[in-house]
Structure 1
Amino acid sequence: MIYQSRIFTKLSKIPRKLNHRHISGLNLWNEELTSEIKHKVEDHWKDKLSFRKYDENYPGDKYYVLSMFPYPSGQLHMGHVRVYTISDSIARFQRMNGKNVFHPIGWDAFGLPAENAAIERQILPDKWTQTNIKQMKTQLERLGCSFEWDRELATCDPSYYKWTQNLFLKLYDAGLVYQKKAMVNWDPVDKTVLADEQVDENGCSWRSGAKVQKKPLKQWFIRTTKFAKALLEGLNDPLLLDWRDVTKLQKHWIGECDGVNFDFKILGGDDFLTLWTPYPEFIDSVKFVAINSDHILGRGVEGTKKLPVELLHPLTGEKIPVFVTNELEFLPLTDSFVGIPGVCPKSAEFADSVKISYEKTAILSDTERLSRQNQICRQAEALKVGGYWSSAKLKDWLISRQRFWGTPIPIVHCNKCGAQPIRDLVALPTKGELSDWVNCECPQCKQKAKRETDTMDTFVDSSWYFLRYLDPTNSAEIFDKNKISKGMPVDLYIGGKEHAVLHLYYARFIGHFLHSEGLLPEREPFKRLLVQGMVMGRSYRVKGTGRYVTETQIKVVDKKKNKAVVTDTGEQVVMAWEKMSKSKQNGVDPGDMFKEYGSDTTRLLILADVAPTSHRHWNSNTFPGILNWQKRLWLTIRDFIKHRTNPPPAIPDDEFKAHDDYMFDSRNYYIKGVTFNYCGSQQHSVAVSKQQGLTNSIRRAPPAVFANSLQFERALAGQIIVLAPMAPHFASELWSGFVSARGRLNQSDEIHWDRSVLEQRWPTIDSNYNLDLVCKVNGDEKCVVKIAKSEFETLSQEGAAEIALKQKEVKEELSDKTVLYTRYIKHPDYDGVLNITTSMGWREKETNL
């Protein structure tokens, strides 16, 4: 047995200097893997899962992985478990790949639910919120997430919302904040204003579900429309990766920026109307403005009627009449129309009907029109009356909220000076001092004044939190520009699709604004998105009444047709998959999962079976696959220790070498797939299945290979390392068993024996492992050529083409065709594709088109 003994002799000389603090486990390998054992493992390792924290001065590449911060409701739900397990797995993966990882956490802590809960319990919202934060933090720590808790923030903390107010004032100073009377969406249940974005397609509140009412109120707005064109164009920024459907949603929300906004002052008051026109070059020729009966000025008016209100033209100073009418065809989601009858037939027809005289406007060439548009827009911008391109339907961001528990708007109202900004922190009043808080002194004239009592929409708080994480203790400024330039943009942002329009739009707007102020290095704050699907639970709803019942209350009649009845009454029940919620009685308590299975098993269950972007149907029928896999891994380490401690009889060299080579191929094949699916494709369920495939290969090895094979050891080490980001406690215990049977592995820089599994380098593909060069002609695969990784890394398009043209299958396909061009794509999973396009293929393509 020369082959085996040579390996044994070489590897047995390795010194055994170990740091037992990092790698010593419980050594319970003779025990069966039960939930009790898993809990013991997690208790042992929970304080030992060390990780390298983010360091601005670290020489390696930074990687900012951000999960949307939670509202502190007091209890994690399975949606939380999913998003934070994903982010933590990626953070650990990137650290093991040498990145300077930043993985922060905080709390989106303001909002109406806390205020309502506090009223019900007769306590302060702050106390209720802090209690919930403490509870949820404990649960996240139980989940094993490697967050940088020393950078934790809460939006309700004065040290945070002081800077939210500072951001408001930056916008105010830039002319992007204003107050005016408007028809607003009033939620009669929550008794607060909602932005248009917070009203669903049925006209109901996004939170309470109540039918929204229209109500006139004076409100604060942020002029997001000024950045509409930049925000639309930014969606084509090559910086953005994997935005897919989110790009479409954002583009749809913004709309085509094919017109310009102008502010028309309402004569006799301090309000104004922002009006959009597709003819900015002819804005001087406005003869009337029409509004419909939904507009704040047109309430209660029927038919067509001229209002006793006039507008002041922002550029000419002319008085412009206003008509209420439903005869004009308004663009969708708009309630106003700028009448320029000299160029617009629709305007001309209406002007004729109400006897407004006008002159035909001369037709401009494209060059003249563009020149005129630029001139008009510059003039309007100089006068601060608009002049920026936007869409007809896009509205400014209404941020006023009529509630206590929110960021105070730092404005004082003075009878002499009007609205005046407050440059210092405006803290929320404590219980019992509201009247003293409201009455204050004007910062300008020092006379009596009143504070603004509206608070900001919580979307303002969440529009910039990812920046404060990078400099959370700065008391002198909102953040240090140098720290931001090193940490931004966010490399991967993880969250639910329900935030793909509102939150992302507002955060992108703030990014564009701060970039225009010279405070951010890039306009776009988020480089790559991972939009995870919801966790769905099986619900049981009584047909007719809509009442939800639990699974224990029903009897399934026909599972395939989703038919069931209430056991006691015989009422028909509709079975469906719906988002988990208490009201639907279909939720799963993560605490129960931790208690029954352990946190690592829960993490694996939430990652397995379906891609993170898909909805996850939570069904215990899928659990055995993960539970059995963990048991197989446990048995593998038990057998590894056993066969290393008491080597079994050797097997023939040729048989041993065949197994050794198989382990080499398995290790490379599966680690290649796992690595790609961890972060390349972001298909973590496939990464799990690839790991299970590697386990199956390892388990097939005979005892002699367990005992003596170098490639077996490398494969087993790789197996544990790639598992570690997903199941850190369990992998740490497996690693402790693996290390306890050390002494047979070549001590190169591949394995750090004195370090924990989470401190290991991510396994790489061997340079002599063959990768695939897929050769295609006109899109059809003809053959696959195996090329060693060492050659593949430097393979150029010319080199790939030269290899492909030597292949028999490619030669035959090209025998009667002319090659037009070739295209070589190197894929992130280490494989490559060369596609050859021919003259015949081109003609066929043209014909098909």
Structure 2
Amino acid sequence: MKFLYLRNIKLKLLINKQFSLRKRFISSLGLWNEELSSEIKHQIEGHWKDKITEKPFDDKDESREKYYVLSMFPYPSGFLHMGHVRVYTISDTVARYQRMNGKNVIHPIGWDAFGLPAENAAIDRQLAPEDWTNKNITRMKQQLKQLGCSFEWDRELATCDPGYYRWTQELFLKLYDAGLAYQKEALVNWDPVDQTVLADEQVDENGCSWRSGAKVEKKLLKQWFIRTTKFAQPLYEGLNDSILQDWRDIIKLQKHWIGECNGVNFNFKIQNSDNFVTFWTSTPEFIEDARFVAIKDSHILAQKDSIKVQEGTVQLKCNLVNPFNNKLLPVFVTDQIEFLEHTDSFIGIPSICDKSANFATKHNILFEKNYFTDKVEEKQKEICEKANKINAGGYWSSAKLRDWLISRQRYWGTPIPMIHCKSCGTVPVNRENLPVKLPKLDKLSHRGRSPLEDISEWVNTSCPKCGNAAKRETDTLDTFVDSSWYFLRYLDPNNLKDMFDKDRASKMMPVDLYIGGKEHAVLHLYYARFISHFLHSLGLLPEREPFKRLLVQGMVMGRSYRVKGSGQYLPEDKVKILDLKKNKAIAKDTEEPVVISWEKMSKSKHNGVDPEDMFREYGIDTTRLLILADVAPTSHRNWNSNTFPGIINWQKRLWLTIKDFIKHRESPPEMIAEDKFKAQEDYLWDSRNYYIKGASFNYVISQQISVAVSKQQGLTNSIRRAPPAVFSHSLQFERALATQIILLAPLAPHFASELWAGFVSAPNRLNNSGEILWDKNVLEQNWPETDMEYELDLVCQVNGYENCTVKYPRKDLIKLTKEEAIRVAMGQQEVQNTLKVRNILNVDFKIYDGFEGIVNILTDQPAPRKNIETT
């Protein structure tokens, strides 16, 4: 008995201790009698910063649906700018929302740490790029933590870490083993400022470098390439995959970049040379009958010795070898051939082409006339299979797409794991010797060629095949290679045996939501998609496409002031505004006219805003709300202090609401008439459901987070209208106020946590149904749902446009079958009128539980747009 008594005492003490710990965890600062100021906000954020961390992804938990939310990892420049604040606040908001909806969320972060900016900065400062980069990572990591982002820091990676780039090198070797990584002499783009080669994709339409802006020059160099063109057709067709959501115009951009795959690439060796040239033809079935090749003077082969044939045409002294019959093909540099758009070469097949026949006749090239085949597809398949077998190409691609040039003549990048041997040629490093580490340099002092060439103890090595003296490859990889697969390393960052675990990838891929800037919508997305398609072809990934859904956020723009004559940018304090609405201003010193415009924030334009200044002046959560409010994430955000009062006042009203709630619950006022009380309850019940539906829809389906903010402000208005007696005695008020704070939590986790702590501290709780978890923090609450009795819309559409809606209680809408929904829609007069002169082709039906149902009738003729499209 004594033992049982002591055990019960210990049990009670343990329970009390746990309750006390929980109470401290959700206890507020108790400052409800104070006016909400920046100082109070700082105190709140200091109190909650270590308490708003979220549970990391649990790869052993199969009871919850996984959700992979990924933001493009930053280059560690050393400081956050407002663009960073926007993208990572969006990312964090989505991650917190999905966790509160019961998802098993992976939300990683890392650093795109190699590349030219760090190397150039190190040269300017006479530092080692490694030291510069690590210092910047430390500072930016602290800033991201300050921002309150719930990243899984145990998954953190940096592309400059040998533990990461060892696997980038493994990826390169996988590509090499598959015949997709190769080295050849090429006429390449040379950036005279950054002193390195650029891929075609990194040169803009004006022939300038994407990074330095310098006019690009042409150089003849031996370079490494990845044969991305081999996957051109699946990459093009993959853009029609039903898995892709909200890609919008990115699909168009990607398709435009790849081009229609209506021809085949073939590789032709140069006679008496190890080098080869790739040519594209729209008639692959006749490639065996090729008799000559014509090229423009911009083609790499035009650099070789030639003999003049006639005006406008010269013939090269070397020939090409047709891989299908080993016949020699003469090569002509000419302006007498009409080349197809995007091409600089032309395969002459006189038997099927009049212009080829005319050219061949003029230059005494023999050929057979009128050769045709009636089994085109069979012949094409046969030729392509043969070309694949003899490593001569044979894959469908577009005329304009080129292979990815990945060599860079710089130090700060992933070493290419290849060795050059005089006896064996170019051979890969043995995998057990990876990573090939960059040698440590105390400082960098020059551009133009890789410093690795001068480090003899690093360059000089032995051949993995014969053991003789050999030299390492001194080019490093383009940083786009590092970023083409980082989202896979996040799945398994501590794996020492492979890039990632195949079983984990099958559970965690693809990425559910990828967030980043539109400037990466072509290059990075194209390369990442290519690597994903390649790894899928090896059986390592469950899907070809790596990213289900995109959220392409707009830039944060600042108002800039530029002197009209010289174009000089001025800080705002050097400008006298005459008429801001008409964009009229002058320089204070010279009175010259000044052009006012919105431009991407930049130090050089004096229009940037330092996030840390915002944190100090307004608080972290206020900054988060400001960056998300008013403008959809996909639109550019014009940073204007005129929008600040709305958010700041909203926070003050929420603060005052909790203060009043505590007061009225502690000292209940006199009750109002029963009918008025019921009317208030009904109004709050309807408001809570309406705003849950709206805010949730804009969090997860439309991705219009700014509208979710607006909806929450609407709910605040409904709550604030309630008289004191409703604060004190109403269950529906309690539910609405709890909902208000929960809806806010993903956006402003510190502030919402303090509001919640005040809410649960009030006495006389009315909701004991389990809907509110009174002993848990706001971030541990279940996301509120619309009540089953609340009426939702069954939207009846014709060809995507709304005709009418039919109301259903949620409990009935979720039970509705497709057949029943079609019958209801067809019974509506508005739908019948629209369908009078149209034939039905198909009907789509979908239910968004808690939001709406949609019946979309597809017809053979477009329907006039009657109402706005349903959200």
Distance 1:653 1:817, change over 3 A: farther
Give the CA deviation at 1:624.
Answer: 1.0
**1:431 alignment counterpart:** 441
**Residues 30-39 or 822-831, more deviating:** 822-831
Give the CA deviation at 1:393.
Answer: 0.8
Correspondence 1:372 to 2:379: yes
| CA distance in 2: counterparts of 1:819 and 1:416, whole angstroms | 73
**2:718 alignment counterpart:** 697
Correspondence 1:142 to 2:146: yes
1:232 to 224, 233, 236: 236
Q: Deviations over 1:658-684 (max 9, x none)?
A: 000100000000010000100100000
User: Is this contact kept in 2: 1:310–1:320, CA < 8 A?
Assistant: yes
Task: Give the counterpart letter for 2:336 in structure 1.
Answer: E
2:111 to 104, 107, 111: 107
**1:393 alignment counterpart:** 400
**1:94 alignment counterpart:** 98
**1:681 alignment counterpart:** 702
1:258 to 253, 256, 262: 262
**1:530 alignment counterpart:** 551
Give the CA deviation at 1:824.
Answer: 5.8
Equivalences for residues 333-344 of structure 1 within 5 A: 333-344=342-353
**1:634 alignment counterpart:** 655
**Residues 119-128 or 798-807, more deviating:** 798-807
SS in 2 for 1:140: helix
| CA distance in 2: counterparts of 1:832 and 1:782, whole angstroms | 14
Give the CA deviation at 1:78.
Answer: 0.7
| CA distance in 1: counterparts of 2:632 and 2:778, whole angstroms | 26
**1:8 alignment counterpart:** none
| CA distance in 1: counterparts of 2:460 and 2:797, whole angstroms | 76
| CA distance in 2: counterparts of 1:401 and 1:151, whole angstroms | 28
1:735 to 756, 765, 770: 756
Q: Deviations over 1:364-414 (max 9, x none)?
A: 23xx00010011111111111111111111100000000000000001111
Give the CA deviation at 1:798.
Answer: 3.2
Distance 1:583 1:286, change over 3 A: same
SS in 1 for 2:324: coil
User: Is this contact kept in 1: 2:773–2:781, CA < 8 A?
Assistant: yes
Give the CA deviation at 1:304.
Answer: 1.1
Correspondence 1:330 to 2:339: yes
**1:192 alignment counterpart:** 196
SS in 1 for 2:573: helix
2:357 to 339, 343, 348: 348
Equivalences for residues 79-90 of structure 1 within 5 A: 79-90=83-94
User: Is this contact kept in 2: 1:822–1:834, CA < 8 A?
Assistant: no
Alignment length (residue pairs):
827
**Residues 350-359 or 656-665, more deviating:** 350-359
Distance 1:134 1:485, change over 3 A: same
Task: Give the counterpart letter for 1:313 in structure 2.
Answer: N
**1:5 alignment counterpart:** none
**1:6 alignment counterpart:** none
User: Is this contact kept in 2: 1:22–1:754, CA < 8 A?
Assistant: no
1:460 to 459, 476, 481: 481
Give the CA deviation at 1:782.
Answer: 6.0
User: Is this contact kept in 1: 2:665–2:764, CA < 8 A?
Assistant: no
2:156 to 152, 156, 161: 152
Where in structure 1 are there 5+ consecutive unaligned residues?
1-14
User: Is this contact kept in 2: 1:824–1:832, CA < 8 A?
Assistant: no
Distance 1:387 1:200, change over 3 A: same
Correspondence 1:826 to 2:829: no
Task: Give the counterpart letter for 1:422 in structure 2.
Answer: V
2:684 to 663, 671, 677: 663
Task: Give the counterpart letter for 2:42 in structure 1.
Answer: H
User: Is this contact kept in 2: 1:226–1:389, CA < 8 A?
Assistant: yes
Give the CA deviation at 1:446.
Answer: 1.1
Where in structure 2 are there 5+ consecutive unaligned residues?
1-15, 443-453, 866-871
User: Is this contact kept in 2: 1:708–1:744, CA < 8 A?
Assistant: no
SS in 2 for 1:86: helix
Task: Give the counterpart letter for 1:504 in structure 2.
Answer: L
| CA distance in 1: counterparts of 2:192 and 2:27, whole angstroms | 60
**2:321 alignment counterpart:** 312
| CA distance in 2: counterparts of 1:498 and 1:821, whole angstroms | 39
Correspondence 1:359 to 2:362: no
| CA distance in 1: counterparts of 2:836 and 2:478, whole angstroms | 67
Give the CA deviation at 1:784.
Answer: 3.6
Correspondence 1:55 to 2:58: yes
SS in 2 for 1:40: helix
User: Is this contact kept in 1: 2:419–2:463, CA < 8 A?
Assistant: yes
| CA distance in 2: counterparts of 1:200 and 1:816, whole angstroms | 51
Give the CA deviation at 1:252.
Answer: 0.5
Equivalences for residues 243-642 of structure 1 within 5 A: 243-299=247-303, 303-365=312-374, 368-423=375-430, 424=433, 425-431=435-441, 434-642=455-663
What TM-score does the superposition give when structure 2 sets the normalisation length?
0.92
User: Is this contact kept in 2: 1:671–1:764, CA < 8 A?
Assistant: yes
| CA distance in 2: counterparts of 1:397 and 1:274, whole angstroms | 13
Q: Deviations over 1:496-525 (max 9, x none)?
A: 011011001000000011011111111111
SS in 1 for 2:736: helix
Give the CA deviation at 1:360.
Answer: 1.9
Give the CA deviation at 1:813.
Answer: 5.1
| CA distance in 2: counterparts of 1:589 and 1:352, whole angstroms | 70
Distance 1:75 1:844, change over 3 A: closer
Distance 1:23 1:372, change over 3 A: same
**1:70 alignment counterpart:** 74
Give the CA deviation at 1:356.
Answer: 1.9
**2:784 alignment counterpart:** 763
Task: Give the counterpart letter for 1:221 in structure 2.
Answer: F
| CA distance in 2: counterparts of 1:230 and 1:220, whole angstroms | 23
Distance 1:561 1:383, change over 3 A: same
Equivalences for residues 768-779 of structure 1 within 5 A: 768-775=789-796
Superposition RMSD on alpha carbons, in Å? 2.2
Give the CA deviation at 1:561.
Answer: 2.8
Identity %: 67
User: Is this contact kept in 1: 2:558–2:598, CA < 8 A?
Assistant: yes
User: Is this contact kept in 2: 1:804–1:810, CA < 8 A?
Assistant: no
**1:123 alignment counterpart:** 127
Distance 1:270 1:695, change over 3 A: same
| CA distance in 2: counterparts of 1:533 and 1:96, whole angstroms | 26
| CA distance in 1: counterparts of 2:543 and 2:337, whole angstroms | 43
Distance 1:764 1:844, change over 3 A: closer
Q: Deviations over 1:683-709 (max 9, x none)?
A: 001011001110111111111111111
Q: Deviations over 1:569-628 (max 9, x none)?
A: 011111111111111111111111111111111111111111111111111111111111
User: Is this contact kept in 2: 1:777–1:810, CA < 8 A?
Assistant: no
1:793 to 814, 818, 838: 814
SS in 2 for 1:670: helix
Distance 1:336 1:702, change over 3 A: same
What TM-score does the superposition give when structure 1 sets the normalisation length?
0.94
Task: Give the counterpart letter for 1:786 in structure 2.
Answer: K
Q: Deviations over 1:68-120 (max 9, x none)?
A: 00000000111111110001000000000000000000000000111111111
User: Is this contact kept in 1: 2:558–2:639, CA < 8 A?
Assistant: yes
User: Is this contact kept in 1: 2:578–2:586, CA < 8 A?
Assistant: yes
SS in 1 for 2:29: coil
User: Is this contact kept in 1: 2:798–2:863, CA < 8 A?
Assistant: no
Give the CA deviation at 1:352.
Answer: 2.9
**2:3 alignment counterpart:** none
User: Is this contact kept in 2: 1:280–1:373, CA < 8 A?
Assistant: yes
